């Protein structure tokens, strides 16, 4: 049983949620309507044959009555149980682009048959008759482009007796839910903050230290190590060894990156769903889905390089994920991203969230209002390097009325002016499309002016 949806651009991974088996006790098995009507017709025909003294007519009713009595006598006794097991992640397709959710529906019952109706997110799916004979496990597969908590599948199960002559009471709908973690697409190059922190890391800093490229050759001073003495330079500059010269290197440092997701907007490519009266189509990835995947990809790129990455949310005031490194930090960030969702009307912030000194800020937003742009401009004015990632999906304007087209045009022009103003204030903008990796590489190779220079306060 498969519930098709448009496959995502990259296969996400899945996190199982806890779910207890659903066991529903059943009442007595009842005859079906067809069996009841056939038995009544055969009994009426038998009575007519007896009253009219027509044995040939009465004989015609004997066989259906015997079969009905035999089927009713063989009615199963007991309860039908339904349990969802899983889900897990299936093998990807040959092109590696189809991520699928899988769950296993376990049906147990005393009857030989059962009717199973499977759906997802309120939509009808497969409706099949399966043979049980005690226990039957049915694989259920669903494709999704969404991330975060969602329904894998829901099922209605009803037991059927021999020859379909009796039915059990239908079980209440059983549902299996899971949390879909965003994918982590590889990125080759990513921008760095203007100032690096720490005494160890993968990037050469401007401070003198150890482990990096050659900085200069300097006369020996207290605190310099003897193994740093450059004897060739010493012999050339001070043949009488009155002064020693040491080689100084640039220290290695790490970058601190804070990912900021704007969860206040969760809009799809259809502008008619932005009002909230209509839900986005299940086959469309929303702006928040794109923000989750973009943030997960950027977090992986920095963490693979040995940098420290944190996560904050503009829409919800909760404790942020503190900057950290390592594989476990990536798991924390992906899990926090999967649980990010709009939670009512967000309170207006009087000041932007506090960030570590010299951190690179990456803001994932649709920039449909002034809040995210205002916060990004404040961070830039404070001296941080700020990269704004536009996660608004490609819009579908077909089927819009004239007034809806006019409203969309006004909103688009306002958004364009807002982003142009951000660019004038020094915020670097990237649109999350198929060429986002190329745009981030261009930012990584661009010379960044001194943080805060020329930025209005």
- H, E, C per residue of 267-306: CCCCHHHCCCCCCCCCCCCCHHHHHHHHHHHHHHHHHHCC
Closest CA to 130 of 107, 152, 96: 107
As given in the structure block, the two tokens for residue 271 are 């502008």
DSSP H helical ranges for 5-84: 33-51, 55-73
Phi, psi angle pair for 45, to nearest 5°: -65, -35
What are 281-299's pLDDT values in tens digits? Answer: 888 889 999 999 999 999 9
Closest CA to 303 of 341, 332, 336: 332
Q: Give every residue of the chain whose pLDDT is below 50, as ranges.
A: 1-12, 18-26, 90-98, 448-457
| Residue recorded with tokens 């942020």 | 320
CB 280 within 8 A of CB 272: no
Q: How many helices (H) and strands (E) does the chain have?
A: 8, 19
Amino acid 123: pLDDT:
80
CB 200 within 8 A of CB 308: no
Amino acid 405: pLDDT:
92
What whole-number distance in Å separates Cα of residue 434 and Cα of residue 439? 10
Amino acid 10: pLDDT:
45
Element (H, E) at 118: strand 113-120
Amino acid 398: pLDDT:
87
CA distances to 22, 315, 348 from 371, rounded to whole Å, are 45, 10, 8
Residues contacting residue 370 through CB under 8 Å, at least 6 positions apart: 418
Pairing of strands 203-219, 428-431: unpaired
CB 120 within 8 A of CB 3: yes
Element (H, E) at 117: strand 113-120
**CA triplet 286, 177, 141: central angle to 5 degrees?**
85
Residues contacting residue 308 through CB under 8 Å, at least 6 positions apart: 254, 255, 256, 257, 302, 323, 324, 325, 329
């Amino acid at each position: 049983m498969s519930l098709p949806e448009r496959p995502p651009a990259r296969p996400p991974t899945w996190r199982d949620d806890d779910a207890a088996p659903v066991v529903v006790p059943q009442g007595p098995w009842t005859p079906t309507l067809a069996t009841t009507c056939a038995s009544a017709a055969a009994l009426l025909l038998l009575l007519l044959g007896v009253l009219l003294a027509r044995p040939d007519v009465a004989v015609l009713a004997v066989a259906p009555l015997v079969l009905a009595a035999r089927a009713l006598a063989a009615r199963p006794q007991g309860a039908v149980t339904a349990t969802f097991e899983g889900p897990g992640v299936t093998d990807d397709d040959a092109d590696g682009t189809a991520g699928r959710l899988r769950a296993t529906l376990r049906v147990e019952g005393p009857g030989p048959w059962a009717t199973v109706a499977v759906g997802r997110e309120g939509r009808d799916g497969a409706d099949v008759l399966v043979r049980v004979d005690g226990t039957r496990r049915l694989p259920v597969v669903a494709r999704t482009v969404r991330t975060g908590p969602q329904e894998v599948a829901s099922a209605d199960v009803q037991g059927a007796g021999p020859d379909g002559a009796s039915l059990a009471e239908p079980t209440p709908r059983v549902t299996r839910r899971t949390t879909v973690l965003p994918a982590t697409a590889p990125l080759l190059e990513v921008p760095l903050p203007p100032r690096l922190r720490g005494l160890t890391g993968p990037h050469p800093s401007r401070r003198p230290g150890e482990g990096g490229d050659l900085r200069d050759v300097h006369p020996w001073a207290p605190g310099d190590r003897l193994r740093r003495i450059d004897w060739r330079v010493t012999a050339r500059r001070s043949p009488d060894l009155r002064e020693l010269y040491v080689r100084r290197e640039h220290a290695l440092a790490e970058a601190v990156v804070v990912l900021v997701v704007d969860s206040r907007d969760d809009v799809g490519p259809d502008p008619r769903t932005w009002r909230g009266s209509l839900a986005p189509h299940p086959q469309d990835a929303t702006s928040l889905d794109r923000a989750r995947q973009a943030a997960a990809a950027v977090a992986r790129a920095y963490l693979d390089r040995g940098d420290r990455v944190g996560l904050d949310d503009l829409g919800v005031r909760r404790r942020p994920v503190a900057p950290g490194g390592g594989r476990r930090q990536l798991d924390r960030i992906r899990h926090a991203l999967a649980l990010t969702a709009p939670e009512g009307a967000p309170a207006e912030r009087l000041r932007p969230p506090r960030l570590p000194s010299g951190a690179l800020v990456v803001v994932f937003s649709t920039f449909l209002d002034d809040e995210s742009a205002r916060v990004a401009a404040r961070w830039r004015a404070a001296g941080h390097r700020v990269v704004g990632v536009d996660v608004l999906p490609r819009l579908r304007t077909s089927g819009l009325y004239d007034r809806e087209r006019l409203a969309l045009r006004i909103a688009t022009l306002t958004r364009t002016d807002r982003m142009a103003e951000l660019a004038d204030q020094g915020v670097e903008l990237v649109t999350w499309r198929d060429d986002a990796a190329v745009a981030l590489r261009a930012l990584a190779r661009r010379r960044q002016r001194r943080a805060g220079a020329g930025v209005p306060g």
